[in-house]
Chains A and B, each alone.
Chain A
Amino acid sequence: MGTMIAGKLLRLVPIVLLVSLGSFLLLELVPGDPALAVLGETATPERVAEVRAELGLDRPLAERYGEWLGGVVTGDFGRSVVPPVQDVSTMIAARLPVTLEIALLAMLMSLAMAVPFGLWTAHRAGAPLDTAVGGAAFAAISMPSFLSALVLVFFLIFNRGSVRLLVLVLGLALAAGVAVRAVRSARRDGGWERSHRLALVGAAVAAGVAVLLAVALPVFPRQGFVRITGGGLIENLRSAFLPALTLALVEGAVFLRVLRNDLVGTLQEDFVLAARAKGMSTPHVLVRDALRPSSFSLVTVAGVTLGRLLGGTVIVETVFRVPGMGSMLVDAIQTKDFPVVQASVLVLALLFVLINTAVDLSYAYLDPRIRRGGR
């Protein structure tokens, strides 16, 4: 296994180099004079020469790349060429934590949504709830994230009152429906069995959640971001909630589908049947016997997701005007601030590569077949 880890890490070297070269060469893709692209056609020749020097365009390509790479290694990404001129490293240091927070939050939220629903729908594969949740997940996957962000804004911010009312009415109606069914079937079966009592508890919980949401649905800001240092944890979470939820809707749906399909397979394995035959309770079988082997693919998907979230934050940061890496990249592209574009593309890509490699390694660690083979 040691050689495998070494092999994977060794493979990182050419890839990281290619990624850095790709980020660096972006500037070369610009048709015409990049300095003119930065300043516009009306710039004075002196100013153009200044920016050309700033971008290093007066020197040979290889020399510039070497110097740039040397700077990157020491954490120096150069300076932005569009005012306000500042160190790109400083800009990244300010914005990267915001992006990471949103990505991690989105990850936790999608897990929180996917695991319970995944367990339940796998347990009841083929039942109406499974079909409904599956359909909803499929729809969520087909939803571009900027669109779901705007839908969330529309309902949770612009029409908060109506949504509270709607949640209350629908939640209570659902609870009443479930309760009535339970009472009826209990009367028909001539006694209160465990399932009927469970249904009643479920109804009560649904009603409770509906009331709670209707009364205490928090007010989310339409835009902006509050840092922990600036407004405390509560304010920080409130401003990060909608961006994270937007991302979590799509990623949670991906999670859910993977987990459910995985679990459906696991639940048909002999050892799960054996556990059932031995008389283990359903929750015990689901969590202890089925979820544990499936957690392996979950980790894989989670890692891939975290990587994808890095790209996804570009959209939500723009929709919600959150000052993260993504919005910085978009702004820099619009103002043609090439040093900032290069640096942020490189940083995001490197993070992505590192996460994927970590996933690869954990995959090898978690998969008993690979582990056994290596030792």
Chain B
Amino acid sequence: MVDAEPLLDARDVEVAPPPAPDEATPAPAGWRRHRRAIAAAGLVGGAAVTWMGTTGAVDLPWPRAATVVVGVALLLAGIDSALKLWRGERVQTALWLSVAWLVIVGAAALLADVLPLAEAQDPSRTLTEPSLVRPDLFSEHPLGTDRQSLDILGGVVYGARVSLTVGLGAVAIGLVVGGFLGLLAGYYRGRVDAVIGLVTDALIAFPPLILLLALVSALEPSVRNVTIGLAVLSIPIYVRLARANTLRYAERDFVVMARALGGRDRRILFRELLPNVLPPLVSYGFVVVAVLVVAEASLSYLGLSVQRPNPTWGNLIAAGEDSFDRHPHLVFAPGIVLFLTVFALNRVGEAARVLWDPRARRADGGR
């Protein structure tokens, strides 16, 4: 306010912003010089330590867990350095790992029937197997067995099949139905928009999980019905997304031109607008699949989705919950797989939106 004051404070500003290296973890410049060494040490050392931790060379629970954590951390550092050596410093390691993880989970779900997995569904065939075996990555039961001696890895793989079928199926239905309705609403506006908007608002008026619970409460919990329930959940999302994107393009001159050339509504909707509206919808699909996988897992955790003995990630975790203070792997093995899958879907989804959705690109991938 007074002229002299800013002078005084200006010094303060100069002092304040640059400092505080207190939180700064290792300086990147130093690390960069040793990429090769870190990559080699991380990959080899990490693998070795992880192996040590899982085989039970150390046999106390906490040291063992710590060994695995250290091993995995080393391994990740090694992979990060190796990728940076290969693709340059700006490589997004988390994205690469996410894609790799999704490929692994997808392949496992696809090939579940031909993979050499131990019995995971029928307790009458595991009577001679040991029960509650702890995970050991290089044994017959890599993720251990449960109370009924069923193989956890097998359960997780078959669970992946349910999660992915349900998630992808529901998104496909939601994309087609919701995308179509949103396209109509955004193009015709007026009364069509009002009716579709009202129904969409009514669907969104239910908290998502409550809507899902309400739907499955009335129907039999089968893969088909859960897929339908999840699709109902995703339809309003897609209606809104498709409508907003259609509105952006429907006012453009190329739509006017298509009409000037004598194009009918159907042609304008599907040939002119759809190709522009579809990419952002599809790129958003990853995130929606992630949301739906969580919803399905929550549902089966509550015992309202696909029932035992058919394994899902949610019902595996629910089954292991009773004794997981003593046998944490019953919860953590499927739990970590579930978490990693959702994380990978979100990460890939974010990248896809930056790539294909002009609005997300402008916002610099934020939100």
Contacts and interface: CB of A to CB of B under 8 A. Distances in A.
Contacts of B209: 311-312, 314-315
Interface stretch (B8-16, B113-121, B177-185): B8-16
A172 to B, nearest CB: 16
Nearest to B295: A144
Contacts of B217: 26, 332-333, 336, 338, 341
A276 B17 CA distance: 10
Given A129-B23, A150-B324, A15 B210 contact: no
Contact of A261 (B19, B21, B214, B367): B367
A138 B12 CA distance: 35
A187 interface: no
Contacts of B20: 195, 198-199
B346 A193 contact: no
B6 A278 contact: yes
Contacts of B201: 11, 15
A198 B366 CA distance: 31
A356 B207 CA distance: 11
Contacts of B216: 333
Interface residues of B, number: 63
B7 to A, nearest CB: 8
A132 B211 CA distance: 35
B207 A311 contact: yes
A158 B323 CA distance: 11
B19 A193 contact: yes
Contact of B213 (A31, A158, A199, A329): A329
A186 B1 CA distance: 35
A330 B218 contact: no
B343 interface: yes
Chain A facing B: main interface SS: helix
B206 A194 contact: no
A14 interface: yes
A282 interface: yes
B83 interface: no
Interface stretch (B235-243, B261-269, B334-342): B334-342
Interface in B164-183: none
B16 A282 contact: yes
Nearest to B364: A261
B86 interface: no
Contacts of A144: 294, 297-298, 301, 338-339, 342
B205 A353 contact: yes
Contact of A307 (B19, B207, B219, B342): B207
Contacts of B366: 261
Contacts of A278: 6, 9
Nearest to A357: B205
Contact of A310 (B16, B94, B202, B207): B207
A31 B217 CA distance: 11
Given A143-B339, A150-B335, A15 B219 contact: no
Interface in B283-326: 290, 294, 297-298, 301-304, 314, 317, 321, 324-325
B298 A145 contact: yes
Interface in A82-132: 124, 127-129, 132
A147 interface: yes
Contact of B214 (A18, A129, A158, A341): A341
B353 interface: no
A181 interface: yes
A19 B13 contact: no
A135 B76 CA distance: 15
21 contacts: A26-B217, A29-B215, A138-B347, A139-B339, A142-B342, A146-B297, A146-B301, A154-B331, A194-B15, A195-B15, A198-B22, A202-B22, A257-B367, A258-B367, A278-B9, A279-B6, A279-B13, A281-B16, A282-B16, A330-B304, A352-B210
Interface of A: 11, 14-16, 18-19, 22-23, 26-27, 29-31, 124, 127-129, 132, 135, 138-139, 141-147, 150-151, 154, 158, 162, 178, 181-182, 185, 193-196, 198-199, 202-203, 257-258, 261, 276-282, 307-308, 310-312, 314-315, 318, 329-330, 332-334, 336, 338, 341, 345, 348-349, 352-353, 356
Interface of B: 5-6, 8-10, 12-13, 15-17, 19-25, 62, 94, 198-199, 201-202, 205-211, 213-220, 290, 294, 297-298, 301-304, 314, 317, 321, 324-325, 328, 331, 335, 338-339, 342-343, 345-347, 366-367
- Of all A-B residue pairs in the complex, the 9 with the closest CB atoms, nearest first, are A279-B9, A195-B19, A311-B207, A29-B218, A18-B202, A199-B22, A142-B343, A311-B209, A333-B217
